[in-house]
């Protein structure tokens, strides 16, 4: 038991001492672990645990860079946690009861001295309506206690929040917000877990669409129809929608405008990501995070909606046109020195650089490859129709015969991970392998907003669904061309730090 | 060169034209075995119809036909290989007629001293064309038998094991590879056979394979234990001509340390390197592109190579009908099929 004493939770030392006097048989050390008695000290440890669990839940959901300090989000999470925990507790109780019955059957040889006391404890527990303490493991007891406390809190919060939100929706008259909240209410009012109410946002596409703010519906529809070509177009469209959203959003109290706007945006994002089930596409996640940071400033420090719209315009210009021009400028010398430029699939940044270099006369020969003929790479050909003289086009089978002396491979990307790995369209891995074997440099064109503070790639994204991506390891990359400068892949963390894209921000 | 009379020449010309036309007419390349069989039949007709007085005449006749064929179909190295094999057999037949069936014919790859003595004995003698014709016709026919049996012999070299995940490419265009997999499946229960297709969402592979596209190869390679590739031609340095797209598969396999096996029958072993075949292009490159692109693509080149040259260091083993051969040992097999004097002049 001395061992168990050492393991006991700091929050309930007084309760432990009572239990230690009633050791069960030595073959069940886990069952006889010291257990906190919720009835004895109900509030203090429970409150501490609620803080703990809330923090954990927040950490869990912070993956997309969402700041989860809004009441509604909190309430929703708590309700979810409560429902889950109670379900777990019930299951545990049932299990323990079974175990107790079995133990009682087989436990004739258990020490007779300990028995009366043990029974006493169990009876006490039965009176409280809880499972027999000594039969439950530490984790289960904790879970049950947390569940109870969290449920109480969540109910309170949801009640308050529901009232608050009702007022808001009445003013806004937004059907989609109502929908989300009705889901939310459903979730918090039926925390027992096994009903439909546990799901905050229905995964049905129609319901998801209803939960999205009107301004973002065109984006959702476009992605649903599979019309979205890639991360760049997606980001641009998102910014356009965000502009609409900000313009349309009204709130009486100027001071609360930012918070309310963020709440509404958060609801939309929740619906899009199916309650954080799928992450936002990398670059878009960065844009969203920065936008929300700015939105939160509205109403404070004399920041108004007009400032926000200006910020959005500035960022668009900075992320797209200015970044593309800077990348193009960095590359002109290299393109002029190369006898042949090879690219794969479609990327607007690469296209910009190619058109730029052709108008400047530095591009001599171009080869465009696609995974299969008539793929997205054809857009390079059509856009360069008036600019180009000599162009080769082919599919991935031609990869063995395109490299010649002085070639240079330019590839666009979806994201640069913090480990220096790069997410590219599928097939680019093989192209890079053959390029390395042919001693041809591979340059990745990545504006800084595509750098993400993640080491692992996701296979499925919100909006884009399952995107076929290759993860290119750093050893196959000669350099990454950013709007700052040409960098080795190992400098990805430095870019994240410099552009405040890392998790610390 | 032998004087050929008009009707015979006319006939053989017709045969020659038909043969070359058949080589070039197909939109997609025929499989190598069929080309090899057609070439053997063509040579049989040459031997039967052309007139020649001695071995030199016969070799010149064969050389002329060979030059004609490869000038019109320079990428079909199998044709050249079969012709050179036939020329070696003609030389052996000549020696057999001269010295008798029982006596051993000198090996052209013997030591210089042995060759010097052997040369003194035979004293550049030559059998008459008439005597050679009959024996040679039978010998050439043997090539056909050997060609037919080569597939079974390759299949018998089982390299696949239980629980292998095999990745193959070009199964639909290589009957040997398909036959190999079907036979292997009968005896070994492999975990999975991935058939790579150069098209997206193409499920034209055999039923027992799961289709993946070429762009998915790098990701799928993590699960693969063996890569099986069809070979079009093997060069003496161990490198090989394989269907276009094989190079990137071989690189991906090398990256994941997965062994790559090439299926290469004897008639695919080329006696010397030739860069011509590597530049072969598919005549139907533009097919599959939308018509609206015609304007913007008018002055563009559509890349559609037929072959990739895969260097020897990316290949682990060749499975030939005579056994499994390391790429670095491939040159040893040249002596079995070709005569050194036929290789002095590059054709």
Report yes or no: A134 and A22 within 8 Å, Cβ to Cβ. yes
Task: Compute φ and ψ for A27, nearest 5 degrees.
Answer: -75, 0
The more confident residue out of A342 and A257 is A342
The answer to whether the CB atoms of A397 and B301 lie below 8 A apart is: no
Assess whether pLDDT exceeds 50 at residue B2.
no
The average pLDDT across A292-299 equals 83
- Closest-CA distance, A424 to chain B, in angstroms, reads 12
B79-128: per-residue pLDDT in tens? Answer: 889 999 999 888 888 887 777 655 555 677 777 777 676 655 554 556 67
Task: Determine the pLDDT at residue A140.
Answer: 63
To probe the interface with B, which of A371, A389, A393, A422 has the most B CB atoms within 10 Å? A393
Sign of the alpha-carbon dihedral angle for B335, B338, B340, B346: negative
Report yes or no: A349 and A480 within 8 Å, Cβ to Cβ. no
The average pLDDT across A398-425 equals 92
Worst-scoring range by mean pLDDT, A106-110, A384-388, B325-329? A106-110
- Closest-CA distance, B221 to chain A, in angstroms, reads 11
pLDDT band at A172 (very low <50, low <70, confident <90, very high): very low
Task: Determine the pLDDT at residue A201.
Answer: 41
Neighbours of A264 (CB within 10 A): 22
Please, where are the H alpha helices in A34-114? 43-61, 71-106
The average pLDDT across A6-25 equals 38
Assess whether pLDDT exceeds 90 at residue B248.
yes
Assess whether pLDDT exceeds 70 at residue A125.
no
Assess whether pLDDT exceeds 70 at residue B53.
yes
Count of positions (residues) in chain A: 505
The more confident residue out of B42 and B30 is B42
The average pLDDT across A6-24 equals 38
User: C-alpha angle A201/A198/A287, rounded to 5°?
Assistant: 35
Report yes or no: A177 and A270 within 8 Å, Cβ to Cβ. no
ipTM: 0.84
Task: Determine the pLDDT at residue B234.
Answer: 93
- Cα B71 from Cα A98, distance rounded (Å): 87
The answer to whether the CB atoms of A470 and B219 lie below 8 A apart is: yes
- Closest-CA distance, A421 to chain B, in angstroms, reads 15
The average pLDDT across A44-53 equals 49
The answer to whether the CB atoms of A429 and B303 lie below 8 A apart is: no
Task: Determine the pLDDT at residue B252.
Answer: 96
Alpha-carbon separation of residue A235 from A136, A327, A474 (angstroms):
51, 18, 25
Task: Determine the pLDDT at residue B193.
Answer: 85
Task: Determine the pLDDT at residue B251.
Answer: 96
The answer to whether the CB atoms of B304 and A398 lie below 8 A apart is: yes
The average pLDDT across B252-266 equals 94
Task: Determine the pLDDT at residue A64.
Answer: 40
The answer to whether the CB atoms of A382 and B245 lie below 8 A apart is: no
Query: Which chain A residues are Cβ-neighbours of B215 within 8 angstroms?
Result: 371-372, 396, 426-427, 430, 468
Report yes or no: B58 and B32 within 8 Å, Cβ to Cβ. no
Assess whether pLDDT exceeds 50 at residue B212.
yes
User: In 3D, which of B194, B119, B136, B176 has the Cα closest to residue B319?
Assistant: B176
Candidate from A378, A385, A437 with C-beta closest to B251 = A437
Tally C-beta pairs within 8 A across A and B: 114
The more confident residue out of A101 and A178 is A101
Beta strands in A195-248 (DSSP E): none
The average pLDDT across A475-483 equals 95
Task: Using DSSP bridges, classify how beta strands A422-425 and A469-472 pair: parallel, antiparallel or unpaired.
Answer: antiparallel
Structure tokens at A362: 């530095």
Query: Which chain A residues are Cβ-neighbours of B214 within 8 angstroms?
Result: 371, 395-397, 427, 430
Task: Using DSSP bridges, classify how beta strands B317-320 and B323-325 pair: parallel, antiparallel or unpaired.
Answer: antiparallel
Assess whether pLDDT exceeds 80 at residue A300.
no
Q: What secondary structure letter does DSSP report for A298? A: T
The answer to whether the CB atoms of A394 and B304 lie below 8 A apart is: yes
User: Under 8 Å CB-to-CB from B304, ≥6 apart: which residues?
Assistant: A394, A395, A397, A398, B244, B281, B282, B284, B285
The strand order across the sheet containing A422-425 reads A415-416, A422-425, A469-472
Task: Determine the pLDDT at residue B291.
Answer: 64
Q: Within an 8 Å CB–CB cutoff, is residue B282 touching chain A? A: no
The more confident residue out of B75 and A169 is B75
pLDDT band at A422 (very low <50, low <70, confident <90, very high): very high
- B281, with CB counted inside 10 A (0-12, 13-18, 19+), is middle
- B49, with CB counted inside 10 A (0-12, 13-18, 19+), is middle
Q: Torsion angle of alpha carbons A119, A122, A124, A129, nearest 10°?
A: -150
Third-level CATH fold of B6-148 = 1.20.120
User: Under 8 Å CB-to-CB from B109, ≥6 apart: which residues?
Assistant: B335, B340
Indicate the SS3 state at residue A9: coil
The strand order across the sheet containing B307-310 reads B233-234, B240-243, B307-310
Assess whether pLDDT exceeds 90 at residue B256.
yes
Query: Which chain A residues are Cβ-neighbours of B289 within 8 angstroms?
Result: 373-374, 378
Assess whether pLDDT exceeds 90 at residue A439.
yes
Beta strands in A131-188 (DSSP E): none
User: In 3D, which of B168, B322, B156 has the Cα closest to residue B234?
Assistant: B322
The average pLDDT across A47-60 equals 50
The average pLDDT across A109-129 equals 42
Task: Determine the pLDDT at residue A437.
Answer: 94
With a pLDDT cut of 90, the percent of chain A lying above it is: 23
Residue by residue, DSSP assigns A346-405 as --HHHHHHHHHHHHHT----EEEEESSTTSTTHHHHHHTTTT-S-EEEEEGGGGGG---T
pLDDT band at A255 (very low <50, low <70, confident <90, very high): confident
A63-76: per-residue pLDDT in tens? Answer: 443 444 455 555 55
Contacts with A, B 220-259, CB within 8 Å: 243-249, 251-252, 255
Task: Determine the pLDDT at residue B151.
Answer: 85
pLDDT band at A176 (very low <50, low <70, confident <90, very high): very low
- Cα A485 from Cα A471, distance rounded (Å): 22
What architecture is the A323-498 domain classified under in CATH?
3-Layer(aba) Sandwich (3.40)
Task: Compute φ and ψ for B245, nearest 5 degrees.
Answer: 110, -20
Assess whether pLDDT exceeds 80 at residue A487.
yes
What would the 3-class secondary structure string for B240-286 be?
Answer: EEEECCHHHHHHHHHHCCCCEEEECCHHHECCCCCCCHHHCECCCCC
User: Under 8 Å CB-to-CB from A374, ≥6 apart: which residues?
Assistant: B288, B289, B290, B293
Task: Determine the pLDDT at residue A415.
Answer: 92
Mean confidence (pLDDT) of chain A:
71
Please, where in chain A does CATH 3.40.50.10470 lie?
A: 323-498
Neighbours of A404 (CB within 10 A): 13
Query: Which chain A residues are Cβ-neighbours of B288 within 8 angstroms?
Result: 373-374
Report yes or no: B247 and B212 within 8 Å, Cβ to Cβ. no
- Cα A200 from Cα A188, distance rounded (Å): 9
Q: Within an 8 Å CB–CB cutoff, is residue B219 touching chain A? A: yes
Task: Determine the pLDDT at residue B274.
Answer: 77
Structure tokens at A470: 């290759």
pLDDT band at A249 (very low <50, low <70, confident <90, very high): confident
pLDDT band at A482 (very low <50, low <70, confident <90, very high): very high
Candidate from A394, A402, A429 with C-beta closest to B218 = A429
To probe the interface with B, which of A423, A430, A432 has the most B CB atoms within 10 Å? A430
- The listed range with the strongest mean pLDDT (A59-63, A429-433, A449-453, B302-306) is A429-433
Task: Determine the pLDDT at residue A219.
Answer: 80
Task: Determine the pLDDT at residue A478.
Answer: 96
Worst-scoring range by mean pLDDT, A190-199, A250-259, A276-285, B165-174? A190-199
CATH superfamily of B157-333: Translation initiation factor eif-2b; domain 2 (3.40.50.10470)
User: In 3D, which of B79, B90, B84 has the Cα closest to residue B16?
Assistant: B79
The answer to whether the CB atoms of A400 and B248 lie below 8 A apart is: yes
Q: What secondary structure letter does DSSP report for B305? A: B
Neighbours of B244 (CB within 10 A): 28
- Cα A499 from Cα A447, distance rounded (Å): 11
**Residue A200, CB half-sphere, CA atoms under 13 Å: how many?**
28
The more confident residue out of A425 and B172 is A425
- Tokens 């504006």 map to which residue? A447
Is B6-148's fold the same as B157-333's?
no
Indicate the SS3 state at residue B292: helix
Contacts with A, B 288-327, CB within 8 Å: 288-290, 293, 295-297, 299-305, 308-309
The average pLDDT across A250-262 equals 82
The more confident residue out of B221 and B54 is B221
Assess whether pLDDT exceeds 90 at residue A282.
no
User: Residue ranges of the domains in chain B?
Assistant: 6-148, 157-333
Chain A residues near any Cβ of chain B (below 8 Å): 367, 369, 371-374, 378, 381-382, 385, 389-402, 426-427, 429-431, 433-434, 437, 468, 470
Task: Determine the pLDDT at residue A236.
Answer: 87
Assess whether pLDDT exceeds 90 at residue A335.
yes
Rg of chain A over Cα atoms, rounded to whole angstroms, equals 29
The answer to whether the CB atoms of B296 and A381 lie below 8 A apart is: yes
């Amino acid at each position: 038991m001395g061992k168990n004493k050492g393991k006991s939770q700091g929050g309930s030392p007084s309760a432990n001492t009572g239990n230690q006097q009633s050791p069960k048989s030595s073959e069940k050390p886990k069952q006889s672990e010291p257990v906190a008695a919720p009835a004895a000290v109900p509030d203090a440890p429970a409150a501490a645990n609620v803080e703990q669990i809330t923090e954990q839940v927040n950490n869990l959901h912070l993956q997309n860079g969402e700041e989860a300090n809004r009441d509604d989000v909190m309430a929703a999470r708590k309700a979810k946690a409560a429902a889950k925990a109670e379900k777990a507790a019930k299951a545990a109780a049932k299990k323990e009861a079974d175990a107790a019955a079995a133990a009682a059957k087989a436990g004739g040889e258990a020490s007779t001295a300990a028995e009366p006391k043990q029974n006493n404890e169990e009876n006490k527990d039965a009176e409280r309506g809880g499972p027999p303490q000594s039969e439950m493991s530490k984790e289960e007891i904790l879970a049950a206690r947390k569940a109870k406390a969290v449920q109480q809190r969540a109910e309170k919060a949801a009640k308050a929040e529901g009232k608050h939100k009702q007022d808001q929706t009445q003013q806004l008259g937004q059907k989609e917000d109502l929908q989300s909240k009705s889901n939310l209410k459903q979730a918090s009012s039926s925390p027992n877990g096994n009903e439909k109410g546990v799901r905050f946002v229905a995964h049905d596409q129609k319901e998801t669409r209803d939960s999205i703010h009107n301004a973002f519906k065109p984006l959702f529809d476009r992605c649903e129809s599979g019309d979205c070509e890639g991360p760049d177009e997606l980001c641009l469209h998102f910014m356009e929608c965000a502009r609409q959203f900000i313009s349309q959003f009204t709130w009486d109290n100027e001071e609360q405008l930012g918070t309310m706007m963020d709440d509404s945006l958060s609801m939309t994002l929740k619906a899009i990501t199916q309650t954080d089930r799928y992450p936002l596409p990398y670059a878009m996640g960065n844009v969203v995070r920065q936008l929300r940071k700015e939105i939160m400033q509205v109403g404070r420090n004399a920041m108004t909606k007009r400032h926000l719209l200006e910020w959005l315009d500035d960022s668009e210009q900075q992320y797209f046109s200015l970044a593309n021009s800077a990348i193009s400028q960095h590359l002109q010398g290299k393109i002029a020195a190369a006898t042949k430029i090879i690219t794969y699939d479609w990327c607007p940044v690469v296209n910009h650089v190619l058109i730029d270099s052709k108008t400047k006369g530095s591009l001599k020969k171009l080869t465009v490859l696609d995974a299969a003929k008539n793929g997205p790479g054809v857009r390079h050909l059509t856009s360069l129709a008036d600019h180009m003289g000599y162009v080769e086009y082919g599919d991935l089978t031609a990869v063995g015969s395109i490299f010649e002396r002085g070639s240079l491979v330019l590839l666009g990307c979806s994201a640069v991970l913090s480990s220096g790995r790069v997410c590219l369209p599928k097939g680019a891995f093989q192209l890079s392998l053959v390029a390395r074997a042919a001693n041809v440099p591979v340059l990745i064109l990545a504006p800084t907003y595509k750098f993400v503070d993640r080491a692992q790639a996701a296979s499925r994204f919100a909006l884009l669904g399952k995107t076929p991506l290759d993860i290119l390891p750093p050893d196959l990359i000669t350099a990454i061309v950013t709007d700052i400068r040409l960098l080795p892949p190992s400098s990805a963390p430095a870019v994240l730090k410099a552009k405040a894209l890392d998790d610390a921000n | 060169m032998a004087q050929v009379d008009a009707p015979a020449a006319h006939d053989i010309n017709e045969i020659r034209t038909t043969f070359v036309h058949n080589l070039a007419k197909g939109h997609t390349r025929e499989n190598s075995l069929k080309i090899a069989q057609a070439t053997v039949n063509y040579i049989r007709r040459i031997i039967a119809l052309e007139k020649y007085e001695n071995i030199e005449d016969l070799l010149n006749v064969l050389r002329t036909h060979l030059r004609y064929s490869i000038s019109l179909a320079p990428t079909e190295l199998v044709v050249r290989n079969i012709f050179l094999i036939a020329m070696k057999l003609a030389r052996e037949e000549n020696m057999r007629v001269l010295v008798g069936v029982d006596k051993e014919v000198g090996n052209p790859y013997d030591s210089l001293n042995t060759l010097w003595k052997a040369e003194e004995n035979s004293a550049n003698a030559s059998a008459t064309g008439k005597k050679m014709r009959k024996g040679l016709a039978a010998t050439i026919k043997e090539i056909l038998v050997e060609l037919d049996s080569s597939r079974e012999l390759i299949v018998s070299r089982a390299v696949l094991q239980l629980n292998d995940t095999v990745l193959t490419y070009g199964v639909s265009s290589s009957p040997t590879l398909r036959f190999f997999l079907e036979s292997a499946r009968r005896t070994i229960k492999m975990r999975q056979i991935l058939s790579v297709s150069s098209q997206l969402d193409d499920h034209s592979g055999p039923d027992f394979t799961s289709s993946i596209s070429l762009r998915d190869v790098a990701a799928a390679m993590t699960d693969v234990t063996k890569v099986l590739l069809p070979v079009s031609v093997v060069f003496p340095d161990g490198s090989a001509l394989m269907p276009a797209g094989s190079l990137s598969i071989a690189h991906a396999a090398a990256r994941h340390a997965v062994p790559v096996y090439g299926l290469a029958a004897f008639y695919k072993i080329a006696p010397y390197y030739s860069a011509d075949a590597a530049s072969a292009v598919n005549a139907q490159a533009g097919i599959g592109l939308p018509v609206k692109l015609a304007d913007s693509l008018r002055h563009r080149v559509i890349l559609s190579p037929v072959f990739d040259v895969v260097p020897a260091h990316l290949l682990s083993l060749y499975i030939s009908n005579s056994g499994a051969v390391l790429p670095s040992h491939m040159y040893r097999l040249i002596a079995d099929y070709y005569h050194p004097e036929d290789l002095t002049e590059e054709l």
